[in-house]
């Protein structure tokens, strides 16, 4: 199982309802939602923990306010947490209002996010 199709559909619906120009891109066994050619959020299934996760790119300032929540923990793929990114477990996005909250935080940060350098 790579990622939850149901969660993917819910995120598509939120972006469409908010009239956000986005596209989805499969990467690293999950699905990345791109806004303005920048990673906005990402979903995947963590095989070790056997849970669906939402990776939200919310910026360092908002991160400080959200990381204390029970359903959140630092985004860490490599052993070194990435600044401004947070993992949210299913408890944090089960309800549509909760998922919309996280997606809105990602959308709010997107204009300030830096683009990744293109590989040649």
Domain membership of residue 31 (yes or no) is yes
Whether residue 36 lies inside any domain: the answer is: yes
Q: How confident is the model over 19-75, as pLDDT tens digits?
A: 999 999 998 889 999 999 999 999 999 888 889 999 999 999 999 999 999 999 998
Tell me whether strands 85-89 and 51-57 are parallel, antiparallel or unpaired: antiparallel
CATH code assigned at 23 = 3.90.1150.30
Q: What is the pLDDT of residues 4-14, one digit of tens each?
A: 999 999 999 99
In a domain, residue 120? The reply is no
117 within some domain? no
- Prediction pTM value: 0.91
Residue 93 lies in a domain: yes
For the chain, how many structural domains are there in total? 1
- Range(s) of the domain holding residue 96: 5-112
């Amino acid at each position: 199982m790579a990622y939850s199709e149901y969660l993917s559909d819910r995120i598509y619906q939120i972006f469409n309802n908010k009239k956000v120009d986005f596209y989805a891109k499969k990467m690293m066994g999950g699905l990345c939602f791109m806004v303005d050619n920048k990673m906005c959020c990402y979903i995947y299934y963590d095989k070790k923990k056997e849970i669906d996760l939402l990776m939200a790119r919310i910026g360092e300032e908002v991160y400080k306010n959200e990381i204390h929540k029970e359903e959140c923990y630092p985004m860490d793929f490599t052993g070194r947490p990435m600044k401004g990114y947070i993992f949210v477990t299913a408890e944090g996005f089960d309800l549509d209002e909760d998922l919309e909250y996280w997606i809105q935080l990602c959308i709010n940060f997107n204009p300030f996010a830096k683009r990744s350098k293109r590989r040649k």
